[in-house]
Amino acid sequence: MITTLKNNTTVHDFSISGISLNAPQIRALVRAVGENTSLKSLSLSRKHITDDDGADIARNLAQNTTLLKLELEDNNLGPKTAAEIGRMITQNSTIRFIDLESNNLTNSGKENDGVIELAKVTTEILYRYLSSLRLWLRTKTCCG
């Protein structure tokens, strides 16, 4: 399954719902997705993914140029994952949706650095988008 996904150019949505995978299998899967050139959506929800493995997922997907949606709901993700996802979205310009619901991204409020990093990056991206939109609107208003 993992080797097939790595080399596949036709599959666009992939979910491992109902399939039990251990941590090494999930890491191998994510490395394959990092190299995949057709996948648009990946669901890794409710797989007991640890904070270290979540950070590894983010690092592996930083260079992916096709994935639009990543679902990581209800895992054991924490501050490391939040920080790495923040770094990932500065490098990955295609991803549009990341579901992090029902995780422990702040370690029960004790470690906020990862979430702060994620918020900073999200704010910077939004600011760049709004600046581009404002420039585009000015161009359309004055010249179009």
Mean pLDDT computed over 47-54: 91
pLDDT score recorded for residue 69: 94
pLDDT digits (tens, 9 = 90+) for 26-44: 888 878 888 888 889 988 9
Q: What domains are defined for the chain?
A: 2-143 (3.80.10.10)
Confidence class for position 61, pLDDT limits 50, 70, 90: very high
Q: Above 60 in pLDDT, residue 144?
A: no
The number of C-alpha atoms within 13 Å of 136 and in the hemisphere containing its C-beta is 6
Mean pLDDT computed over 65-94: 92
Phi, psi dihedral angles at 42 (to 5 degrees): -135, 125
Tell me the CA distances in angstroms from 85 to 25, 45, 133, one per residue in order.
Answer: 21, 16, 25
pLDDT score recorded for residue 19: 78
CA–CA dist 16, 136 (Å, integer): 41
